[in-house]
Amino acid sequence: MLGMFMYMCMLSMCTLIFSWEMIQCGLFFLSFMSIFFIYCFCSFSCMSMMMGGDLLSFSLISLSCWICSLMLLASYKIYMNNFNKEKFSFLVVLILIFLFLSFGCLDLLMFYISFECVLVPTFLLIVGWGGQPERLQAGIYMFFYTLCASLPLLVGILNLYKINGSMVYNILMLIGGKMEVFWFFIFIVAFLVKLPMFLLHLWLPKAHVEAPIAGSMILAGILLKLGGYGLFRVLFLFQNFIVWNGGFLLSLGLVGGLWTSFICLRQVDLKSLIAYSSVGHMGMVMGGIITLNSWGSSGALLLMVAHGLCSSALFCLANLVYERFYSRSLMVLSGLMSIFPILAMWWFMFCVFNMAAPPSMNLFGEIFLMMSMVGWSQWTMICLVMLSFFSACYSLFMFSSTQHGKSWMMFSFDGIKIREYLLLFLHFIPMNFLVFNLDLWSYWF
């Protein structure tokens, strides 16, 4: 694990020396190397004094390496136009380093520092390479929304150090007493914003719409998973409180996911529709984590990995269309099936995977989460059924709005490159073939 970290640091220094293709090959090599950690460490393992983790950590580290590799493949236009390509590749590797430290550290304070440091290169990606003048407003909105929400977490971590004398995950003690409710919300508010939970999600659509394709991929693919990972690491401190009072957050996640499904049906911006759909999926993840059982935890991990790949692929598809027609409006982007028939197949596959169709990991993740939440309370079945139905509604609405109808594109445009088909294929392969090792993710908790 220390070797992976040193490799990333060397790769960040080489971004100004080696070519774009060499950096991309280095990231893909790191991705394949990180996969071996998933199969070697199913239980919690300490690799050094400060670094280690379990299957949750190594799965998200592998996902981070894979998405960062695909970010460079999706941003080839920056390389062709020579638009500060060295700085861009340096920021991508820097984001990967901070994500590696966030998922791989054993100390809660170190996790907080890495958790906050990821915001800086992400903010620079949005502001530096965003397409619209409103990107500065969106970047500042995201930066201060998440930063201000995480300041109470620092107070809670320092208080926890005063109580325990340490901040290593395995030896932290449960927090109880009269102030338990106060400390509970102090600890989780930063992760609920990053997740994001409904009512705390307002920064997400604006950041997605104004971000470049690499920014959208890292936001949807990885940064939302930081919130779920943080909940996994701190909720065990409040087990007694969650058992008796966790229904409020679980209900808010499900009802918020249902409400954002209605919002998706009203969207006319393609990237905004994909961004709002993430809120519903992350609401189910939060519900599974709060149930505190093995089915919910395994389902949350499966859905986080599957959603990271599926939403990243949908943003890539939206970017392919935007680069050719310079519009994200569903009223303009109609009849694409008659123009790009092969691309329509990819649209269909990722839209149905977004609504948890077999054989993707999304299906098994949602099955696990539904079983855990129905076992927690049978009343959740009503909301889960409606959430699944409307998830299918807005996914099919997105497909039919873009692929069917009359095309209004009367001007010339570039065809789809082999590189872009490869980009979609590299999203498709892990999302479907990791299902063959489903037992690995089923029993890690």
179 pLDDT band (50/70/90 cuts)?
A: confident
Residue type present at position 196: P
For 87-125, letters b (16+ CB in 10 Å) and e give bbbbbbbbbbbbbbbbbbbbbbebbbebbbbbbebbbbb
CB of 374 closer than 8 Å to CB of 366: no
Residue 165's region, left for phi above 0, alpha for psi from -120 to 50, else beta, is left
Tell me: cis bond preceding 121? Omega within 30 of 0 counts. Answer: no
Report field, pTM of the whole predicted structure over 0.75: yes
Sign of the dihedral defined by the CA atoms of residues 422, 425, 429, 430, in that order? positive
Q: Which residues contact 334 (CB under 8 A, 6 or more apart)?
A: 401, 402, 404, 405, 406, 407, 408
399 pLDDT band (50/70/90 cuts)?
A: very high
Average pLDDT over residues 197-219: 88
Statement: residue 442 has pLDDT above 70: no
Cα–Cα distances in angstroms (integers) from residue 82 to residues 19, 38, 70, 89, in the given order? 12, 37, 18, 12
pLDDT at position 40, please?
63
366 pLDDT band (50/70/90 cuts)?
A: very high
CB of 196 closer than 8 Å to CB of 282: yes
pLDDT at position 394, please?
94
49 pLDDT band (50/70/90 cuts)?
A: low
CA atoms within 13 A on the CB side of 310: 30
CB of 373 closer than 8 Å to CB of 380: yes
44 pLDDT band (50/70/90 cuts)?
A: low
Give the helix ranges, DSSP H, for 355-379.
Answer: 361-376
Average pLDDT over residues 203-214: 88
Statement: residue 170 has pLDDT above 80: no
CB 272: neighbour CB atoms within 10 A?
20
4 pLDDT band (50/70/90 cuts)?
A: confident
Distance CA(444)–CA(55), nearest Å, equals 7
Strands 52-53 and 45-46: antiparallel
pLDDT at position 302, please?
92
